[in-house]
Amino acid sequence: MTPNAWIQILAFLVVLVALVKPLGAFMARVYEGQPCGLDKPLGFLERLTYRVAGIQPDQPMNWKTYAIAVLMFNLLGGLVVYALQRLQGFLPLNPEHLGAVSPDLAWNTAISFISNTNWQSYSGETTLSYLTQMLGLTVQNFVSAATGMAVLVALIRGIRGRQTDHIGNFWVDLVRSTLYILLPLSFVLALILVSQGVVQTLSPYKQVSLIQPVSYVQSTTNAAGKTMHQTVWVKHQVLPLGPAASQIAIKQLGTNGGGFFGVNSAHPFENPNPLSNFLEVLAILLIPAALCYTFGRMVGDTRQGWAILAAMLIIFVPLMIGCVWAEHSGNPKIAALGVNQQSSALMSGGNMEGKETRFGVTDSAIWAAVTTAASNGSVNSMHDSFTPLGGLVPMWLMELGEVIFGGVGSGLYGMLMFVIVAVFIAGLMVGRTPEYLGKKIEAFEMKMATICVLVPPALVLVTTAIACVTVMGTSAIANPGAHGFSEILYWASSTGNNNGSAFAGLSTNTPFYNIAGGILMWVSRYFLIVPTLALAGAFARKKQVPVSSGTLPTHDALFTGWLVATVVLIGALTFLPALALGPVVEYLHLWH
């Protein structure tokens, strides 16, 4: 690893952590219904929405009503995204005259975007009209993120509630998340991105003349069944355009990750230079990190939020460094072919397959770790071509359950489930009925928390198992040997944890992968949201136990370490055999 790599890692972390408190405090104000500065210019929209919708903003819901509201809103969103894809041929804002999306792909994409996964079995520029991108996907980029944040806030209200049924009002949380947090941040980021070269236009795709025309041989079969070879000269290049910047801003901020273009943030029109790259990668972790502070603020003890953030960083930073290191180490078999992989002032070096020159291995590896720690899934390099250990990092970060930052809202509520498990065991070890923030952890809480911890790995393991022994599964594999297994495992880990990044060699635009992936994304999103809200309801009804010296402190270094151990151990024990058969054995083969 080069000094520059260390500097870049440090710079990223410093800027990220510095933004946690200001943004976290701002979000706490938004959720507490306090004036946040933006309610002056945007408040009329909020009030208008409530009036038209007949919402009493000060009327809180119990957990069941909250859950019904979440599910109903998401179902509606799914139907609309599906319909837009199927009907886009008849709708406006379709300059390239793209036709209807196939039913299985449309289902997969609809679930993918409402569940904040943004798995893409398609390329945006060849499949979706501008209208579908805007009214379907951009909208879901906002509201699926806001849904996650709302559920988190409901859980926080449950934790601090005292013998009440109420955990807040979903509509209020949804609208305020969107209007005051996601929209302003996206607006600013979108404009900065445009200034760097991210496209933002409704014009049709642009054709340019090539400096050096290129030829290729086209083989066609004529009516007589004879194969004809024909040299085709290509003199033009078609540049796909579209309202990309506005979507990319929210795609990163809302940990969505669905690219406007097929190659996602590797596409120069999505991510034109290292500065735009820095801003985008920062935007990915910004809200998940800041929500830790919001959490601390809202439960009345910011140390609790910092402790969770610290636990996330303790797991994240070494893995990110490991990924950067692995990619810098390059590929020994390529070095043997007379290739220079040594990093220097004149080149990035390292394992450059599937990476962009402007990002080099450092920014690509940092991004890979960030996008999988958060449930973002956008890529600026191709994870499939990473070195075995470099690819293990993003895979394992997802398999940890998307709780190391994770999705906006969903990452923290997922982490809180691990906190509950950690508190439970630690609480027993100090000889008291375990409690977290004054709430006793009893059988029901344990049941809900373990469901949340159990569901994603169960989904991942079972679907990987099905896919790796069936033709419909293995026929999609692009790379032979153990790496092929990694591709399937990565796919399942990504969809089963609502991440959305891919080992993109796997051809997943098939009915099997589209349908199975849709089920995975659906289950891992909503089968976690409902228990989380049930837990919020159960917490809210409980008494608050006051703190004494017999209470296990959950804000100190020891507990943070214990939480880290819990997350890592569960993640490791669940996936060690599978990882051994994928990246680990590939590493052993490549290097020994």
Partner 1 sequence: MWSQCRPAVVVFVVLSAITGLAYPLLVTGIAAVAFPWQANGSIIKNSAGQAIGSRLIGQYFSEPGYFWPRPSATAPVPYCSYNGPLADCATASNSGPSNPALFAHVKRRVELLRAADPAEKGPVPVDLVTSSASGLDPDISPAAAFYQVNRVAKARGLPVAEVKNLVKQYCQGRDLGILGAPRVNVLSLNLALDRLSSAQAATGSKPR
Partner 2 sequence: MAAKSTSLFNGAITRRAVVESFKKLDPRIQFRNPVMFVVYIGSILTSGLFIQALFAHGEAAPGFILAISLWLWFTVLFANFAEAMAEGRGKAQADTLRKARRDTPARKLAEAHRDARVQSVSATTLRKGDIILAQAGDLIAADGEVIEGIASVDESAITGESAPVIRESGGDRSSVTGGTRVLSDWLMIRVACNPGETFLDRMIAMVEGAKRQKTPNEIALNILLAKLTIIFLLATVTLLPFSIYAVNAAGRGVPVPVTVLVALLVCLIPTTIGGLLSAIGIAGMDRMIQKNVIATSGRAVEAAGNVDVLLLDKTGTITLGNRQAVNFIPAKGVTVEQLADAAQLSSFADETPEGRSIVVLAKDRYKLRGRELSSMHAQFIPFTAQTRMSGVDCDGRKIRKGAADAIAAYVAELGGVYPDSVKAAVDEISRRGGTPLAVADGPSVLGVIELKDIVKGGIKERFAELRRMGIKTVMITGDNPLTAAAIAAEAGVDDFLAQATPETKLKLIREYQQGGRLVAMTGDGTNDAPALAQADVAVAMNSGTQAAKEAGNMVDLDSNPTKLIEVIETGKQLLMTRGSLTTFSIANDVSKYFAIIPAIFVGIYPAMGRLNIMHLATPKSAIMSAVIFNALIIIVLIPLALRGVKYRPMPAGKLLLQNVLLYGVGGLIVPFIGIKLIDMALVAMHLA
Cβ proximity to partner 1: between 25 and 192 the closer is 192
Could you tell me the CA-to-CA distances from 385 to 3, 65, 267, 400, 557 in Å, in that order?
A: 24, 46, 17, 22, 37
Q: Could you tell which of partner 1, partner 2, none binds residue 15, using a CB distance below 5 to 8 A set by kind?
A: none
C-alpha triplet 394, 399, 404: angle, nearest 5°: 75
Q: Could you tell which of partner 1, partner 2, none binds residue 8, using a CB distance below 5 to 8 A set by kind?
A: partner 1
Torsion of CA 283, 284, 290, 294, to 10 degrees: 110
Q: Whole-number minimum distance, CB 462 to partner 2, in Å?
A: 7
Q: Whole-number minimum distance, CB 174 to partner 1, in Å?
A: 7
Residue in the block written with tokens 């800027």:
15
Answer yes or no: are the C-beta atoms of 367 and 277 closer than 8 Å: yes
- Give dist(CA 203, CA 243) in Å, integer: 9
Interface with partner 2, residue 469, by CB under 8 A: yes
Phi, psi dihedrals of residue 208, rounded to the nearest 5°: -125, 155
What's the N-to-C CA distance of the chain in angstroms? 21
- Backbone angle region of 350, left / alpha / beta, with phi > 0 → left and psi within -120 to 50 → alpha: left
Q: What is the DSSP letter of 88?
A: G
Residue in the block written with tokens 């043997």:
336
Q: Whole-number minimum distance, CB 319 to partner 1, in Å?
A: 18
Nearest to 2 by CA among 350, 368, 320, 390: 350
Q: Could you tell which of partner 1, partner 2, none binds residue 266, using a CB distance below 5 to 8 A set by kind?
A: partner 1
Query: Judged by CB under 8 A, how many residues of this single chain contact partner 2?
Result: 69
Binding to partner 2 (CB under 8 A) within 403-422 occurs at 421
Q: For partner 2, which stretch binds (CB under 8 A), given 153-161, 316-324, 523-531, 577-585? A: 577-585
Nearest to 26 by CA among 37, 14, 17, 13: 37
Q: Could you tell which of partner 2, partner 1, none binds residue 199, using a CB distance below 5 to 8 A set by kind?
A: partner 1
Q: Whole-number minimum distance, CB 486 to partner 2, in Å?
A: 11
Q: Could you tell which of partner 2, partner 1, none binds residue 528, using a CB distance below 5 to 8 A set by kind?
A: none
Cβ proximity to partner 2: between 215 and 475 the closer is 475
Cβ proximity to partner 1: between 80 and 446 the closer is 80
Site string for partner 2, 429-468 (x = CB under 8 A): xxxxxx---x--xxx-xxx--xx-xx--xx--xx-xxx-x
Query: Token pair for residue 234?
Result: 């290509």
Query: Token pair for residue 381?
Result: 């390099």
- Give dist(CA 101, CA 435) in Å, integer: 50
Answer yes or no: are the C-beta atoms of 418 and 563 closer than 8 Å: yes
- Give dist(CA 525, CA 531) in Å, integer: 11
Q: For partner 2, which stretch binds (CB under 8 A), given 18-26, 165-173, 305-313, 477-485? A: 477-485
Binding to partner 2 (CB under 8 A) within 549-568 occurs at 549-553, 556, 558-559, 562, 565
Could you tell me the CA-to-CA distances from 518 to 104, 110, 189, 198, 458 in Å, in that order?
A: 9, 8, 30, 30, 16
Binding to partner 2 (CB under 8 A) within 501-560 occurs at 543-546, 548-553, 556, 558-559
Q: Could you tell which of partner 1, partner 2, none binds residue 218, using a CB distance below 5 to 8 A set by kind?
A: partner 1
Q: Could you tell which of partner 1, partner 2, none binds residue 353, using a CB distance below 5 to 8 A set by kind?
A: partner 1
Q: Which residues bind partner 2 (CB under 8 A)?
A: 421, 424-434, 438, 441-443, 445-447, 450-451, 453-454, 457-458, 461-462, 464-466, 468-469, 474, 480-482, 484-485, 543-546, 548-553, 556, 558-559, 562, 565, 569-570, 572-578, 580-581, 584-585, 588-589, 592
